[in-house]
Amino acid sequence: MSVYRRNAFRATAAGALALILASPWSAIAQSVLRLVPQADLKILDTVQTTNNITSNHGYMVYDTLFSLDGKLAAKPQMVESYSKSPDSLTWKFKLRPGLKFHDGQAVTAKDAVASILRFSKRIPAGVTMMQFAKEIVATGGDTFEIRLNKPFGLVLETLAGPENPLFVTREADAQLDPNTAMTTAIGSGPFMFVREEWVPGSKVVYKKNPDYKPRSEPADGFAGGKLAKVDRVEWLVIPDSNTAVQALIKGEVDIIEIPQTDLLPLVRKDPNITVKVIDRVGTQAIYRMNHLIPPFNNAKARQALLYATGDQRDYLSSMIGFAEYEKPCWAVFICGTPFETQAGVGDWAKGDKKANIEKAKALLKEAGYKGEKVVVLDPVETHLAHAQAVVTAQKLREIGMTVELAAIDWGTQSARRQIKDGPDKNPGAWNIFHTWGGGLAMNSPLSNTPTPSACDGKNWFGWPCDEELEKIRLEFPLAPPEKQKEIVERLQKRFYEVVPYIPAGQFFAPVAFRKNLSGILDTPRLVLWNIEKK
Q: Is the pLDDT reported for residue 44 higher than 50?
A: yes
Q: What is the mean pLDDT of residues 239-247?
A: 94
Of all residues in the chain, the percent with pLDDT exceeding 70 is: 95
Residue 70 CB-half CA count within 13 A: 9
Nearest residue to 32 via CA among 255, 328, 190, 270: 255
Rounded distance, CA 534 to CA 532, Å? 7
Cα gap 63→476, rounded to integer Å: 28
Tell me, which fold does domain 283-507 have in CATH?
Dipeptide-binding Protein; domain 3 (3.10.105)
Q: With bands split at pLDDT 50, 70 and 90, how would you rate the model's confidence at 441? A: confident
pLDDT tens, position by position, 340-397: 999 999 999 999 999 999 999 999 999 999 999 999 999 998 899 999 999 999 999 9
Q: What is the DSSP string of 455-517?
A: TTS-SSTT----HHHHHHHTTGGGS-HHHHHHHHHHHHHHHHHH-SEEEEEEE---EEEETTE
pLDDT of residue 10: 45
Cβ pair 492, 482 in contact under 8 A: no
Using 50, 70 and 90 to split pLDDT, how confident is the model at 21? low
Residue 358: its pLDDT value, please? 98
Residue 1, pLDDT > 80, answer no
Q: For residues 506 and 450, what is the distance between their CA atoms, to the nearest angstrom?
A: 16
Has residue 6 got a pLDDT over 70? Answer: no
Surface-to-core class of residue 398, CB atoms within 10 Å of its CB (0-12 exposed, 13-18 middle, 19+ buried): middle
pLDDT of residue 471: 96
Alpha helices (H) in 185-262, listed in sequence order: 241-250
Average pLDDT, stretch 411-421?
A: 93
| pLDDT per residue as tens digits for the range 504-518 | 999 998 999 999 999
pLDDT reported for residue 368:
97
Q: Is the pLDDT of residue 79 over 80?
A: yes
pLDDT digits (tens, 9 = 90+) for 321-338: 999 999 999 999 999 999
Over 60: is that where the pLDDT of 457 sits?
A: yes
Over the stretch 149-190, which tens digit does the pLDDT of each residue have?
Answer: 999 988 999 999 988 899 999 999 999 999 898 999 999 999
With beta carbons less than 8 A apart as the criterion, state whether 500 and 451 touch. yes
Residue 370 CA to residue 494 CA, distance in Å, equals 27
- Residue 387: name the closest of 504, 213, 491 by CA: 504
Above 70 in pLDDT, residue 339?
A: yes
Q: What's this model's pTM, rounded to 2 decimal places? A: 0.79
What average pLDDT does this structure show over 460-481? 94
Q: Does 91 score more than 70 pLDDT?
A: yes
Mean pLDDT of 496-510: 96
Residue 433 predicted with pLDDT over 50: yes
Confidence at residue 45, expressed as pLDDT on a 0 to 100 scale: 95
Find the mean pLDDT for residues 215-239. 96
Judge whether 487 and 338 are in contact, CB under 8 Å: no
Which residue type is seen at 156? Answer: L
pLDDT number for residue 5 = 35
Q: Are 202 and 20 in contact (CB under 8 A)?
A: yes
Check residue 188 and give its pLDDT: 98
Which whole number is the average pLDDT over 514-533?
Answer: 95
CA of 471: how far to CAs of 10, 330, 341, in Å? Answer: 51, 22, 19
List, in sequence order, the alpha helices (H) in 120-230: 124-130, 155-160, 171-174
pLDDT in tens, 267-324: 999 999 999 999 988 999 999 999 999 999 999 999 999 999 999 999 999 999 999 9
Average pLDDT, the chain: 92
pLDDT at 17: 56
Domain ranges of the chain: 66-174, 283-507
Amino acid identity for residue 236 in this structure: L
Which one of 3.90.550.10, 3.90.1560.10, 3.30.450.40, 3.90.76.10 gives the CATH number of domain 66-174? 3.90.76.10
Q: Write out pLDDT tens, residues 101-128.
A: 999 999 999 999 999 999 999 998 899 9
How many residues belong to the chain? 534
Beta partners for residue 377, in sequence order: 406
16 pLDDT above the threshold of 70: no
Residue 491 and residue 424: Cα distance in Å, rounded?
35
| Backbone phi, psi, residue 249, to 5° | -60, -40
